[in-house]
C-alpha cells in the first residue's frame, strides 16, 4: 500500500465516524423532543390530527344545521 491509499482509508474512516456521531446526536435530540411532546409517535400525531378534524367537522355541521 502506498502512503496515499493509507491516508485515504484513514480519512474515510474519520468521515464515517463523524457521520455516525452526527446521526447519534440528532436521534437523541429528536427522541428528547418526542418525550417533551408527551411521547408522541407519528401514529399518535395522526390520530390527534384526525380527532381535531372530526371535531371541526362536527362543529361545522352543528353550525350549518341551525336556522
The pLDDT of residue 49: 84
Same domain, 25 and 47: no
One pLDDT digit (tens) per residue for the chain, 67 residues? 799 999 999 999 999 999 999 988 887 777 666 656 665 677 777 888 888 899 999 988 888 876 5
The grid cell for 23 is: 446521526
- E-state strands within 1-67: none
Q: Report phi then psi at 66, rounded to 5.
A: -80, 145
The pLDDT of residue 35: 59
Domain range spanning residue 5?
1-36
Q: How far apart are CA 12 and CA 7, in angstroms?
A: 9
Same domain, 9 and 27: yes
Number of separate domains in the chain: 2
The pLDDT of residue 40: 62
The pLDDT of residue 18: 96
The pLDDT of residue 65: 73
Amino acid at each position: 500500500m502506498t502512503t496515499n491509499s493509507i491516508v485515504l482509508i484513514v480519512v474515510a474512516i474519520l468521515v464515517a465516524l463523524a457521520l455516525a456521531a452526527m446521526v447519534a446526536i440528532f436521534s437523541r435530540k429528536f427522541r428528547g423532543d418526542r418525550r417533551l411532546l408527551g411521547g408522541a409517535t407519528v401514529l399518535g400525531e395522526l390520530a390527534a390530527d384526525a380527532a381535531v378534524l372530526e371535531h371541526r367537522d362536527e362543529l361545522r355541521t352543528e353550525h350549518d344545521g341551525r336556522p
